[in-house]
Amino acid sequence: MGEATTLTALLESLDSTPSDAGASDRLSIGEILTVIGERGYGPLVLMFALIAALPTGAVPGIPSVCGISIALVSTQLVFGKDYPWLPAKLRELSIERHRYKQVSRRLIPWTRRLDRLVRPRLHILVEGASTRLIGVACVALGACMIPLEIIPFAAAAPAFAIALMGLGLTGRDGFWVLAGLLPAGLAGYFVFTLIN
Protein backbone atom coordinates (compact mmCIF):
# COMPACT_ATOMS: atom_id res chain seq x y z
CA MET A 1 0.00 0.00 0.00
CA GLY A 2 2.99 2.32 0.28
CA GLU A 3 3.93 4.68 3.09
CA ALA A 4 1.84 7.57 4.35
CA THR A 5 2.37 10.84 2.50
CA THR A 6 0.72 14.26 2.37
CA LEU A 7 -1.70 15.81 -0.10
CA THR A 8 0.64 18.76 -0.63
CA ALA A 9 3.52 16.44 -1.52
CA LEU A 10 1.33 14.72 -4.11
CA LEU A 11 0.30 18.00 -5.75
CA GLU A 12 3.87 19.24 -5.81
CA SER A 13 5.15 16.00 -7.31
CA LEU A 14 3.17 16.76 -10.48
CA ASP A 15 3.58 20.54 -10.39
CA SER A 16 7.15 20.74 -11.71
CA THR A 17 7.55 21.79 -15.34
CA PRO A 18 9.80 19.54 -17.40
CA SER A 19 13.12 21.26 -17.99
CA ASP A 20 13.96 20.03 -21.49
CA ALA A 21 12.82 22.10 -24.45
CA GLY A 22 11.03 19.20 -26.13
CA ALA A 23 8.99 18.28 -23.08
CA SER A 24 5.23 17.97 -23.43
CA ASP A 25 3.03 20.84 -22.31
CA ARG A 26 0.37 18.32 -21.30
CA LEU A 27 0.06 16.18 -18.19
CA SER A 28 -0.79 12.62 -19.17
CA ILE A 29 -2.50 9.86 -17.22
CA GLY A 30 0.66 7.83 -17.79
CA GLU A 31 2.79 10.49 -16.10
CA ILE A 32 0.47 10.54 -13.10
CA LEU A 33 0.74 6.76 -12.90
CA THR A 34 4.53 6.86 -13.15
CA VAL A 35 5.06 9.65 -10.62
CA ILE A 36 2.45 8.64 -8.06
CA GLY A 37 1.64 5.00 -8.72
CA GLU A 38 4.72 3.72 -6.92
CA ARG A 39 3.44 5.32 -3.71
CA GLY A 40 0.41 3.07 -3.62
CA TYR A 41 -3.25 3.02 -4.54
CA GLY A 42 -4.43 5.69 -2.09
CA PRO A 43 -2.37 8.55 -3.59
CA LEU A 44 -3.24 7.48 -7.12
CA VAL A 45 -7.03 7.40 -6.71
CA LEU A 46 -6.77 10.62 -4.69
CA MET A 47 -5.07 12.47 -7.56
CA PHE A 48 -7.50 11.18 -10.19
CA ALA A 49 -10.42 12.18 -7.95
CA LEU A 50 -9.02 15.67 -7.34
CA ILE A 51 -8.52 16.27 -11.06
CA ALA A 52 -12.20 15.40 -11.61
CA ALA A 53 -13.56 17.26 -8.56
CA LEU A 54 -11.65 20.53 -9.03
CA PRO A 55 -11.93 23.07 -11.91
CA THR A 56 -9.80 20.79 -14.11
CA GLY A 57 -12.84 18.51 -14.16
CA ALA A 58 -14.79 21.12 -16.12
CA VAL A 59 -12.96 19.99 -19.27
CA PRO A 60 -15.38 17.73 -21.20
CA GLY A 61 -14.44 14.09 -20.87
CA ILE A 62 -12.13 14.51 -17.87
CA PRO A 63 -14.64 13.21 -15.26
CA SER A 64 -15.29 10.10 -17.36
CA VAL A 65 -11.60 9.45 -18.00
CA CYS A 66 -10.83 9.89 -14.31
CA GLY A 67 -13.80 7.71 -13.35
CA ILE A 68 -12.66 4.89 -15.64
CA SER A 69 -9.09 5.20 -14.33
CA ILE A 70 -10.29 5.10 -10.71
CA ALA A 71 -12.48 2.07 -11.38
CA LEU A 72 -9.65 0.17 -13.10
CA VAL A 73 -7.08 1.04 -10.44
CA SER A 74 -9.48 0.27 -7.59
CA THR A 75 -10.37 -3.11 -9.10
CA GLN A 76 -6.69 -4.02 -8.82
CA LEU A 77 -6.71 -2.88 -5.19
CA VAL A 78 -9.67 -5.19 -4.53
CA PHE A 79 -7.74 -8.16 -5.94
CA GLY A 80 -4.55 -7.29 -4.06
CA LYS A 81 -2.31 -6.43 -7.03
CA ASP A 82 0.98 -4.94 -5.80
CA TYR A 83 1.32 -2.18 -8.40
CA PRO A 84 -1.45 -0.36 -10.33
CA TRP A 85 -1.65 -0.73 -14.12
CA LEU A 86 -3.63 1.08 -16.82
CA PRO A 87 -3.93 0.28 -20.55
CA ALA A 88 -1.76 2.27 -22.99
CA LYS A 89 -4.73 4.08 -24.59
CA LEU A 90 -5.78 5.44 -21.20
CA ARG A 91 -2.21 6.34 -20.21
CA GLU A 92 -1.94 8.55 -23.31
CA LEU A 93 -4.90 10.77 -22.37
CA SER A 94 -3.91 14.15 -20.94
CA ILE A 95 -4.87 17.65 -19.82
CA GLU A 96 -3.05 20.93 -20.33
CA ARG A 97 -0.18 21.12 -17.85
CA HIS A 98 -0.64 24.84 -17.25
CA ARG A 99 -4.28 24.25 -16.26
CA TYR A 100 -3.20 21.70 -13.67
CA LYS A 101 -0.42 23.99 -12.39
CA GLN A 102 -2.83 26.92 -11.96
CA VAL A 103 -5.24 24.84 -9.89
CA SER A 104 -2.47 23.15 -7.93
CA ARG A 105 -0.77 26.39 -6.90
CA ARG A 106 -4.06 27.87 -5.69
CA LEU A 107 -4.75 24.75 -3.65
CA ILE A 108 -1.39 24.26 -1.95
CA PRO A 109 -1.92 26.89 0.80
CA TRP A 110 -5.15 25.06 1.68
CA THR A 111 -3.72 21.56 1.43
CA ARG A 112 -0.96 22.52 3.86
CA ARG A 113 -3.67 23.33 6.42
CA LEU A 114 -5.51 20.10 5.61
CA ASP A 115 -2.33 18.05 5.99
CA ARG A 116 -2.22 19.07 9.65
CA LEU A 117 -5.61 17.38 10.15
CA VAL A 118 -4.52 14.05 8.66
CA ARG A 119 -2.76 11.62 10.96
CA PRO A 120 -2.69 7.85 11.49
CA ARG A 121 -5.83 6.79 13.40
CA LEU A 122 -8.70 4.29 13.18
CA HIS A 123 -6.22 1.87 11.59
CA ILE A 124 -8.82 -0.86 11.22
CA LEU A 125 -10.44 1.18 8.43
CA VAL A 126 -7.27 1.57 6.34
CA GLU A 127 -5.59 -1.82 6.66
CA GLY A 128 -6.13 -5.41 5.53
CA ALA A 129 -9.59 -6.35 4.30
CA SER A 130 -10.84 -2.79 4.85
CA THR A 131 -8.69 -1.53 1.97
CA ARG A 132 -10.41 -3.98 -0.35
CA LEU A 133 -13.82 -2.74 0.77
CA ILE A 134 -12.66 0.80 0.06
CA GLY A 135 -11.55 -0.45 -3.35
CA VAL A 136 -15.05 -1.81 -4.03
CA ALA A 137 -16.58 1.55 -3.03
CA CYS A 138 -14.15 3.41 -5.31
CA VAL A 139 -14.97 1.10 -8.24
CA ALA A 140 -18.67 1.88 -7.82
CA LEU A 141 -18.12 5.62 -7.34
CA GLY A 142 -15.70 5.82 -10.28
CA ALA A 143 -18.28 4.11 -12.50
CA CYS A 144 -20.91 6.62 -11.30
CA MET A 145 -18.80 9.51 -12.56
CA ILE A 146 -19.31 8.46 -16.17
CA PRO A 147 -23.12 8.93 -16.48
CA LEU A 148 -23.10 11.85 -14.03
CA GLU A 149 -20.88 13.89 -16.35
CA ILE A 150 -23.97 14.84 -18.36
CA ILE A 151 -25.26 16.76 -15.30
CA PRO A 152 -23.20 19.90 -14.61
CA PHE A 153 -20.93 19.41 -11.58
CA ALA A 154 -22.73 16.18 -10.52
CA ALA A 155 -19.62 14.04 -11.10
CA ALA A 156 -17.88 16.12 -8.42
CA ALA A 157 -19.89 14.31 -5.70
CA PRO A 158 -18.45 10.82 -6.30
CA ALA A 159 -15.07 12.37 -7.10
CA PHE A 160 -15.05 14.18 -3.76
CA ALA A 161 -16.07 10.98 -1.94
CA ILE A 162 -13.21 9.09 -3.60
CA ALA A 163 -10.82 11.94 -2.78
CA LEU A 164 -11.68 11.72 0.92
CA MET A 165 -11.28 7.93 0.95
CA GLY A 166 -8.04 8.25 -1.00
CA LEU A 167 -6.86 10.85 1.51
CA GLY A 168 -7.61 8.39 4.29
CA LEU A 169 -5.61 5.65 2.60
CA THR A 170 -2.78 8.03 1.78
CA GLY A 171 -2.44 9.36 5.34
CA ARG A 172 -3.47 6.10 7.05
CA ASP A 173 -6.38 8.02 8.58
CA GLY A 174 -9.66 6.11 8.91
CA PHE A 175 -11.52 9.28 9.88
CA TRP A 176 -11.32 10.58 6.31
CA VAL A 177 -12.54 7.26 4.95
CA LEU A 178 -15.66 7.67 7.11
CA ALA A 179 -16.00 11.29 5.97
CA GLY A 180 -16.12 10.08 2.38
CA LEU A 181 -19.39 8.29 3.06
CA LEU A 182 -21.35 11.59 3.07
CA PRO A 183 -20.57 12.66 -0.52
CA ALA A 184 -20.82 8.98 -1.52
CA GLY A 185 -24.45 9.06 -0.37
CA LEU A 186 -25.00 12.25 -2.37
CA ALA A 187 -23.54 10.56 -5.44
CA GLY A 188 -25.92 7.65 -4.93
CA TYR A 189 -28.83 10.08 -4.81
CA PHE A 190 -27.71 11.72 -8.07
CA VAL A 191 -27.50 8.34 -9.81
CA PHE A 192 -30.92 7.33 -8.47
CA THR A 193 -32.39 10.60 -9.74
CA LEU A 194 -30.75 10.15 -13.14
CA ILE A 195 -32.10 6.61 -13.53
CA ASN A 196 -35.62 7.65 -12.50
Q: What is the DSSP string of 34-69?
A: HHHGGG-HHHHHHHHHHHHHSGGGGSTTHHHHHHHH
pLDDT digits (tens, 9 = 90+) for 39-63: 778 888 888 898 888 877 777 888 8
Amino acid at 5: T
**What whole-number distance in Å separates Cα of residue 181 and Cα of residue 170?**
17
8 A C-beta contact, residue 4 and residue 120: yes
pLDDT above 60: residue 67: yes
Query: For residue 19, what pLDDT band results from cuts at 50, 70 and 90?
Result: very low
Query: Which of 34-52 are b and which e, b meaning 16 or more Cβ less than 10 Å from the residue's Cβ?
Result: ebbbebbbbbbbbbbbbbb
Is residue 94 helix, strand or coil? strand
Nearest to 145 by CA among 73, 62, 79, 45: 62
8 A C-beta contact, residue 112 and residue 51: no
Round the average pLDDT of the chain to a whole number and report it. 82
Q: pTM of the full predicted structure?
A: 0.80
pLDDT digits (tens, 9 = 90+) for 130-162: 889 999 999 999 998 888 888 777 788 889 899
